[in-house]
Chains A and B, each alone.
Chain A
Amino acid sequence: MKRTALILTLGLGVGAAGHVLWFNTHRPVAAGSLDTQLAWMQTDLGLEPDQFERIKALHERLEPRLLELAAEVDRLRAEFATFERERLEAGEVDFLKVARAAAERRTLGRECDASTTQLVAEATRVMTPEQRKRYLEILAPALEDAGHSRAF
């Protein structure tokens, strides 16, 4: 009985150790940074080193502006959420504030459109037709959204 328990324990131990070791050595790095996204793009689109360098430079150049716009979008979204909450709770709307925020939203939408168009246009210029096709497939959700409405 002791021998059986020993072999069972050994088997389970070896299995668990193999699992943890294999999982940890092959675990992919977490998504998030621009470098990770670009590395993924390189693999997914099969970019050549020179293409990758140009696309990386393009993204690094435009990223600060895009992040700035994203922060503005978040701020305006929060502002509109506040208007909505006030409307629901107090039944009142400050139309002047809403009109100002709406105007700001339209301007921001146009700036976002321009930045996105610039990035996509410059990136696709570097790519082969097959890479371009795949890249536009990846961007399809955003491009479809852009085609319908830029309101947020």
Chain B
Amino acid sequence: MNHPPDPLDTALEALRTSTPAQPESVQHEVWRRIAHGAQADPSEAEAQPWWRRLEAAFARPAFAAAFVAACLLLGLFLAEMRLTRLQAERTAALEQSYLRLVDPLFRATDTPRAQQAVHRP
């Protein structure tokens, strides 16, 4: 029993006949590149300049979002460090000012001792 020809087969056959034959070198080159791509040497990616790799990394939305989040966390961490230092300085300043209030003579220890007089003729 004969089936009617598949329209897809007809279209593919028409494409094959209308496409000029490729030179052997082109086919060879295509297969070589496919094979090369399949083996994809990782050292080749590393050989790229750093800005290319950076671009490639930032092209991934997840990496870009992680970078922005990391920047935010770093900013907050540095702010906390500054605040901790400021708080320590403030506590020391408060202690000193309270000591000066309680004991008006407290600064006495800061007074320089007497120096040797310069003898003039």
Interface residues on B, range: 35 or more
| Residues A37 and B101 in contact, CB atoms below 8 Å apart | yes
Q: How many A-B residue pairs have CB under 8 A?
A: 140
B120 touches A91 (CB 8 A): yes
Q: Is the CB of A88 within 8 A of B75?
A: no
Cβ contact within 8 Å between A66 and B99? no
Would A11 and B71 count as touching, CB distance under 8 A?
yes
Whether B78 is near chain A, meaning CB under 8 Å from some CB there, is yes
Q: How many residues of A contact B (CB 8 A)?
A: 60
Kindly state the separation between the CA atoms of A112 and B101 in the bound complex, as whole angstroms: 11
A103 interface hit (Cβ, 8 Å): no
Chain A interface residues (CB < 8 Å from chain B): 1, 3-4, 7-8, 10-12, 14-20, 22-23, 26-28, 30-32, 34, 36-37, 40-41, 44, 59, 63, 66-67, 69-70, 72-73, 77, 80, 84, 87-89, 91, 109, 112, 115-116, 119-120, 138-139, 141-142, 145-146, 149-152
